[in-house]
Chains A and B, each alone.
Chain A
Amino acid sequence: MNALPYQDTKPVGAAGFYTAINATFRFIQGRFGADGLRRYWEDIGTRYYRPVSDRWTAGGLAAVADYWRTFFAAEPGSDVSVTDAADHVEVEVRTCPMIAHLREQSREIVPCFCQHCYFVSEAIGRPAGVTVRVEGGGGSCRQRFYLAASAPAAQTLDAIKEVQS
């Protein structure tokens, strides 16, 4: 089974779509505020990415690592390593492809943009008993995925930087 539930005919996505993701966040935040944007992220993680949750449920942390390796291989411009540690999966994002592209295009980035990685991944992981901690942001970050039973202290949003455009 492929780690990505939705398959395209081309191996790598089109970076031009990153501007639409950023614009979507801005639109939803403008209409529904920060709580509405978080609800969107929770809903997309819970509903659209449900097949990812199912893979993580079936395969545990190995499936989490497999997913992120395959995911970033299909995102143009990413510089990311995924490491299997003893009790977690570590995703080190040296170059976030989306932030890099938005900056190249001189786009105004939604300041809380990097929080989406926490809220979406947390919603994907919840049915699988997986939780995430995100540290950094604004173009590079470290994301650690744990089994919920052995996770460290809860995520604080202060640990996720606001994005400077």
Chain B
Amino acid sequence: MIGCYDFCGHYEWTFEWLREMGGDELVKQYWDEAIHQDSQRHAGEMIVNEGIEGMKKYWAHTLEEEAAGFICTSSDKFYRIDMHACPSKGFLIQNGLEQYRDYCDHCIGWIGPLMKRAGFVIDHQHNHCGQCWWEMRRTEDAAVPATRPADDVRLRADWKMPGAMIDSYVHATNVDQKEVLPPEA
């Protein structure tokens, strides 16, 4: 049986298997169709129907179940996650597993199309070291996410690890909207 204990390991392995079978486009279709529209359809139902309230419900349950190190903040305008210890990327790092070129892309790969359907856009960065932040706002809201002194993952000493690039998304809903920033940026 393929199990859930090491799920992130074979999930990441599957990305590269799909890329070998059908290129990057197939991987993107997988994140959208299999993860967003099928596996995580309950997330879509909550977020499309309830907006920010749905995000709070979905991620409160999911991140607790996965034993993530995170802080969520929200208002009536935005929903934000500061992830300082991603259990998923952490599992891969701990076990030396890296088949696909950027595992972290899978999150915006399925959350991006979901947010587009729900009428939201995403500001997001990840550092490939198990840390990231996300801020979701209504599509028509052009506000720029402010630094949050109390819990902003970008203010941690380990946010910019030597040599680690920062992948950055601004008001995005698609994994292809990535800008790669050097560590010193």
Contact = CB atoms under 8 A, between A and B. Distances in A.
Interface of A: 4-10, 12-24, 26-28, 31-32, 36, 40, 43-44, 47-48, 71, 74-76, 96-98, 105, 116-117, 120-121
Contacts of A71: 1, 3, 5
A21 B4 contact: yes
A8 B68 CA distance: 12
A22 B34 CA distance: 9
Contacts, number: 110
A117 B13 contact: no
A121 B30 CA distance: 25
A156 B62 CA distance: 39
B161 interface: no
Contacts of B35: 20, 23
Given A21-B4, A24-B11, A116-B2, 17 more contacts: A6-B6, A6-B91, A9-B67, A9-B94, A15-B65, A16-B66, A20-B7, A20-B34, A26-B38, A28-B18, A40-B14, A40-B17, A48-B9, A75-B1, A105-B42, A117-B1, A120-B2
B107 interface: no
Contacts of A27: 30, 33-34, 38
B4 A17 contact: yes
Interface string B1-28: 1111111011101100110011000100
Nearest to B42: A105
A140 to B, nearest CB: 13
B156 to A, nearest CB: 19
Contacts of A17: 4, 7, 11
A35 to B, nearest CB: 12
Interface of B: 1-7, 9-11, 13-14, 17-18, 21-22, 26, 30, 33-35, 38-40, 42, 62, 65-67, 87, 90-91, 94-95, 97
B3 A6 contact: no
A120 to B, nearest CB: 6
A13 B6 contact: yes
Contact of A6 (B9, B26, B39, B90): B9
A121 B58 CA distance: 34
B65 A6 contact: no
Contacts of B87: 8-10
B17 A16 contact: no
A26 B1 contact: no
A116 B30 CA distance: 19
